[in-house]
Chain A
Amino acid sequence: MTTVARDPVTAADPTPPAAKPAAGPSRHRFRAVAGFAFGAALLFAVAPLLLSDFRLSLLAKYLCVAMVAIGIGLAWGRGGMLALGQGVFFGLGGYAMAMHLKLADAGPGNMPDFMLLYGQLDELPLWWRPFASPWFALPATVLLPMAVAFVLGSLVFRRRVRGAYFAILSQALAAAMVILLIGQQGTTGGTNGLTDIQGFFGYDLDDPVNQRMVYFIIAGTLLALLALTRHLMQSRYGELLVAVRDGEERVRFLGYDPATVKLVAYVVAAGMAGLAGALFVPAVGIISPAMIGIVPSIEFVIGVAIGGRATLLGPVLGAVAVAWARTALSERFPGTWTYLQGLLFVVVVAFLPGGLASLVGLLRRGDGERRPGWLRRSRRTEAEAS
């Protein structure tokens, strides 16, 4: 076939090809492996050596929030779905795990302590029973949120609900779930939630050694989720997801159903939030409506926005930084954290829409070096930021 267009507009072209040296796939792979090794060393060696047991268990809690953030980064940063109700999935995973642990604490045939305390029930409610088995409860922490996200997403994305409407809808879901939990105090623990969890599959959670073990499980899970998400982002699906974010109608005219593309990212994000909730329970020893409602759901998103939503590591670092700042600042200046958090959010959204991760990109742009994959982000947001 002959070539028709002979590129008659080279003069008008803003980016000459010479300015884009291609980094080979092997170099990317090396960077990724090195990055993961560095992250593993940090999480598995440096942090346990430097941090006290108390600080380490706080870090475990932050890393759970970071897992939710990875999912939001995928759904929102890459897929354009502002998931403002991830607390629902976090809560489903958390409650599934807590129900199992409470039943295990109580022993076979017994009811959890709070049910006896409220004294309205003679026997264990039917829907609690399957959670006595770890073979049901553990998969349920991930599959239950994914199933709910699948049903919700199928209804919503096919009807082309998006943008602010989608965000509001997910918020409403978080509110509804909290109301439901509080209303059913006799079987859900109400406002208190499921508290005072003692054991974790036979291990006493009061023992610092076992707390460390929980931390290591959480750190390992986080790295695994990062690897999974990196793969998803770099796969053809990841490219397609960005295409759906930027031009849903156009993708439809190419013969894809964008609803399915979005659904996958949303369901994966829900599964991650569920897993995070499940691991949050042994790390903290409690799950309650206050941890999964509207406010925590928004805080998940704030961390992601501050870190950089379209990148792989931005959401993780943002979530950990915000959670850490929250603890540190509210220890010293109780009451001011909420204002600071709001201010930080506004400043980032207004002046750095790509999040803090885009700072690295801005700094690096001068030296002509190509940014590593996890920092490559939207050109548009970069232009807005500069």
Chain B
Amino acid sequence: MTEQLHGLYVRDLRVSFDGFTAVDGVSLDVAPGDIRFLIGPNGAGKTTLVDAVTGLVKATGSVRFGDRELLGRPVHRISRLGVGRTFQTSTVFEELTVLQNLDIAAGARRGWATLLRRRHGVPDEVAEALEVIGLASRADQLAGTLAHGQKQWLEIGMLLVQDARLLLLDEPVAGMSHEERDATGQLLEQVSRDRTVVVIEHDMDFLRRFARTVTVLHAGKVLSEGTVAQVQADPRVQEVYLGHPVDAGTAPTATEA
């Protein structure tokens, strides 16, 4: 395991689809070990930004994780550099067990000799992840039978065993109960000790409790950046969210989504 933390450095990132510019010259720095929340109205370019960082869409500019340039590499190579992501809809392998899901996530560096043999026992990193995400008692259950929140945790657990050092989470608490949100937030705080975390989220209550820094995107550009309080006090943010500037402290609210 590479234990040192890396930051994410995005410079003048642009993504266009058929003339429509989804991400329009975004530059942002995420410090090593930060929990950065990306917020913004629908269509602001949050998910597209993550897509560009992970190699899913073509982009111009520069994205560095630590000192490695990510742009131009295929998806699976970027992943092997320690960049992991989740999706808005849960994408665990429903017909495999929790244990099999984690074992596959742990195995991208395995050679064919290991792949072609049967799994015996539970690898250490998988056992550890099962404890961290609280699914140890469900290791042999099919992932498709898990509750929604548990699937999201399994996704995060897959990033942990994958040894991702940069976690890009797309709406991890959407559809979760209050207890599940709390548990997820604590999980994020725990994993950020030796990882850098970027979260796309609409839930403002969740953001206030767990974000360390916030970037607000609007129409493909960075609108505002700073701590939760700084961003909330920014009149431009209030304008985007509410249509007109209001007193600091009341916006943004959890109405957008």
Contact = CB atoms under 8 A, between A and B. Distances in A.
B60 to A, nearest CB: 22
Interface stretch (B62-70, B147-155, B226-234, B238-246): B147-155
A7 interface: yes
Given A250-B93, A255-B76, A379-B94, A4 B133 contact: yes
B132 A3 contact: yes
Interface residues of A, number: 40
Interface in A122-156: none
Contacts of A1: 128, 131-132, 190
Contacts of B94: 246, 379-380
Q: Chain B, interface size: which category?
A: 35 or more
B109 to A, nearest CB: 7
Contacts of A351: none
B135 A5 contact: yes
B3 to A, nearest CB: 15
Given A5-B134, A239-B100, A380 B95 contact: yes
B105 interface: yes
Interface in A238-252: 239-240, 242-243, 246-247, 249-252
Nearest to B95: A378
Contacts of B141: 15, 17, 20
Nearest to A234: B118
Contact of A236 (B118, B128, B142, B150): B118
B16 interface: no
A256 interface: yes
A256 B115 CA distance: 12
A249 B146 CA distance: 21
B162 interface: yes
B219 interface: no
Given A246-B95, A254-B104, A254-B105, A236 B183 contact: no
A239 B104 contact: yes
Contact of A9 (B76, B92, B147, B186): B147
A159 to B, nearest CB: 13
Contacts of A8: 149, 177, 179-180, 183
Contacts of A252: 75-76, 79
A157 B158 CA distance: 25
A232 B117 CA distance: 8
B79 A242 contact: no
A243 B147 contact: no
Interface string A357-372: 0000000000000000
Contacts of B145: 13-15, 379
7 contacts: A4-B134, A13-B145, A235-B115, A249-B91, A254-B79, A254-B162, A256-B108
Considering the complex of A and B, which 10 residue pairs feature the smallest CB-CB distances, nearest first? Answer: A255-B108, A5-B134, A255-B79, A8-B179, A9-B147, A5-B183, A4-B187, A237-B115, A250-B91, A15-B145
Interface of B: 54, 74-76, 79-80, 84-85, 87, 91-96, 100-101, 103-105, 107-110, 112, 114-119, 128, 131-135, 137-138, 140-142, 144-147, 149-150, 153, 158, 162, 177, 179-180, 183-184, 186-187, 190
Given A4-B134, A5-B150, A17-B138, 13 more contacts: A3-B134, A5-B153, A5-B184, A5-B187, A7-B134, A235-B117, A236-B116, A239-B96, A250-B87, A252-B76, A253-B84, A255-B76, A256-B76
